[in-house]
Amino acid sequence: MTEEYGIPAWMKKATPYVYLRLSSEYQAKGDAGKPLDKQSWSIDQLEAVKSFLKANGMKMPKEANIFRDLASGGTMDRAGLQSLIEAVMSAKGRAYVAVVEPSRFGRNSTLAFEQLAPLYRKDIPLLSTDDALVSGTLKEPRTNAHLLFTIRMGVSEVERGTLSTRVNRRIGQRKQQGILSAAIGSLFPFARKDPLDVLLENESLIDVPTKDGGGQNALGRLVVSGSAPNGAPAMSWTAAERKRLEPIRAKLTPEEFNAWKDYRRKIRAIYASRDFDPARGAKVESLNRKDIDWGAKALNRMAGGFIAQPYNDIYFPLEDGTIEDILATPLEFLSDGDKKLYRRIVSKR
């Protein structure tokens, strides 16, 4: 008798094929021009699939068996999907197709399963790694699991129609919680070392007499040299940053201060990974990319309050899920000025 749920034992020895998809070019603006396998959404989805396979003792997919599309889920005429179906139908031995969740195959369950019917007849199941859901096949019907798989596709169709409403509601809730915009300046994502770390590690230099090589200017020079060459702060930054730190250190416990530093470090690392410094007038905006990262700009606006004033009760650190929302739907979180800039730039393309 076929088990309804869980990963069948045979799948641990089977060949995995992987399908990755993002809905539209709008959602991938920050990666425009890059090959699909280098775009952040593709990397994130693949890492999620691989993490699940590894945790369940399953084989890792070969690069030749990974297929990608940057296309709407409303149409099934996608090059990556068609190549996937052709490849997996020619597989030798048992195989299956993995996605992070069912709607990656398509938002229309009827059209999706029409295209995927050959896999069903050849006993090639579909695996959704987000919820460990395996679809049924001709010989292994898994009736309930297959129905859930179908429902998950259909639900995504409904969700698309209400996405804007949900995003706006989340924005309103976050504003009520005090997650607002605040100018924080650059976090220097391209500096060899975070200038703040250099400052804190060498701050005792302030108490050393100038004649002995200490003082404010000596500390400033050390911060610049310690964080150079890419995007290091100006000499004046050190004094200004120490002033900004005064209320933070005075009002936070040592544990809270360390937690704040960790949070600031996480946001800085995101900017570095996306190769974009969203601070207004940043000395080095990017090392390699040519376009604007709207997700980074939106995150800079929404994360700024807590980074600037972690002692203020109206500000909270953004949760990982909230950060993902901001990066995925940046236009909803941009300032009015950046929204105008976005429309001006995008309208020219």
Tens of pLDDT, residue by residue over 236-274, are 999 999 999 999 999 999 999 999 999 999 999 999 999
Q: Is position 185 within any domain?
A: no
pLDDT score for 31: 67
Cα–Cα distance, 256 to 312 (Å, whole number)? 13
Residue where a domain stops, chosen among 138, 173, 208: 173
Could you tell me if 44 and 107 lie in one domain? Answer: yes
Tell me whether residue 16 is exposed, middle or buried, using C-beta atoms within 10 angstroms of its C-beta: 0 to 12, 13 to 18, 19 or more: buried
The DSSP-derived string for 63-109 is GGGEEEEES-TT----HHHHHHHHHHHT-SS-EEEEESSGGGT-S-H
pLDDT score for 157: 53
For 249, the enclosing helix (H) or strand (E) is helix 236-251
pLDDT above 90 for 50: yes
pLDDT score for 281: 84
pLDDT score for 43: 87
Could you tell me if 262 and 320 lie in one domain? Answer: yes
Q: Is position 28 within any domain?
A: yes
Query: Residue 289 is encoded by which pair of tokens?
Result: 């990319």
pLDDT score for 26: 45
Q: Is position 188 within any domain?
A: no
Could you tell me if 18 and 166 lie in one domain? Answer: yes
Cα–Cα distance, 309 to 44 (Å, whole number)? 31
Q: Is position 244 within any domain?
A: yes
Looking at the DSSP bridge assignments, the partners of residue 127 are 98, 134
Percent of the residues in the chain that have a pLDDT greater than 90, as a whole number:
50
Cα–Cα distance, 246 to 317 (Å, whole number)? 20
Sheet arrangement for strand 133-134: 66-70, 15-22, 95-99, 126-128, 133-134
pLDDT category at 164 given cuts 50, 70, 90 is: very low
Mean pLDDT of the chain: 86
Could you tell me if 342 and 209 lie in one domain? Answer: yes
Backbone angles phi, psi at 125, to 5 degrees: -80, 165
Domain of 248, in residue numbers: 195-346
Q: Is position 183 within any domain?
A: no
pLDDT score for 125: 96
Check which CATH number belongs to the domain holding 23 and give it. 3.40.50.1390
pLDDT category at 28 given cuts 50, 70, 90 is: low
Could you tell me if 164 and 203 lie in one domain? Answer: no
Contact 296, 278 (CB under 8 A): yes
Cα–Cα distance, 346 to 349 (Å, whole number)? 5
Could you tell me if 16 and 124 lie in one domain? Answer: yes
